[in-house]
Amino acid sequence: MPGLIEALRGLFTGGARRPAAAAGGAAAVIAAAVAFVGPREGLVTDAYLDRIASPPVWTVCYGETRGVRQGDSYTPEQCAAMLGAALADYRTALIGCIPGLPDQPQGVQVALTSWSYNVGTGAACRSTLARLANDGDWQGACNQLPRWNRAGGVVVQGLSNRRALEQRLCLEALP
């Protein structure tokens, strides 16, 4: 696991802990977020009914639900483009409630964008994590990530694993 975290940190920060502006800005954050989120969401190119969601929702690619209908099918390239566009939207919405996010290191931005893509920006923006970030307590915000490990009220090991990776990426990016 430490090797994976180091590799992710190197990918997302160029091996150094530096602000996003120095790492290429929003485009670099989105590219890194696609690389982080894709493997955690998993690629399914044909639409399927996600029954964990309440109510169940048609889903495709890397967890895309917007406008998805039964019978939809996409190429892996189309799915990657959809994920990038969705992550950009989620990052923008998250910046709407955490205005200081773009000033944080890339690893922090990637971790929080991944989290918001998974839990939704409504929940993210109403969270203690957002309040702590807005108070300037970025370490405290990162440490909130493991709390978001449930689906349908039940702890899900895959979510616990994802949150642990997001938390480590977030904390290790901080100066």
Q: What per-residue confidence (pLDDT) applies to 54? A: 80
CA dist 87 → 43, 54, 68, 114, 175 (Å): 15, 22, 17, 8, 25
Q: What per-residue confidence (pLDDT) applies to 2? A: 42
Query: For the chain, which domains are there?
Result: 2-40+78-173 (1.10.530.40)
Let me know if 50 is a catalytic residue.
Answer: yes
Q: Among 46, 50, 72, 172, which one carries the catalytic annotation? A: 50
What is the rounded distance in angstroms from the CA atom of residue 70 to the CA atom of residue 47?
Answer: 6
Q: Give pTM, 2 decimals.
A: 0.84
CA dist 127 → 83, 98, 119, 141 (Å): 24, 11, 11, 10
Q: What per-residue confidence (pLDDT) applies to 13? A: 42
Q: What per-residue confidence (pLDDT) applies to 26? A: 95
Burial tier of 36 (Cβ tally within 10 Å: 0-12, 13-18, 19+): buried
Q: Among 41, 64, 166, 172, which one carries the catalytic annotation? A: 41
Task: Divide the 175 residues of the chain into consecutive groups of 10 and give the mean pLDDT of each group.
Answer: 42 41 76 96 96 90 95 97 97 98 97 96 98 98 97 91 98 96
Q: What per-residue confidence (pLDDT) applies to 76? A: 97
What is the rounded distance in angstroms from the CA atom of residue 20 to the CA atom of residue 26?
Answer: 8
Token couple for 73: 């099918």
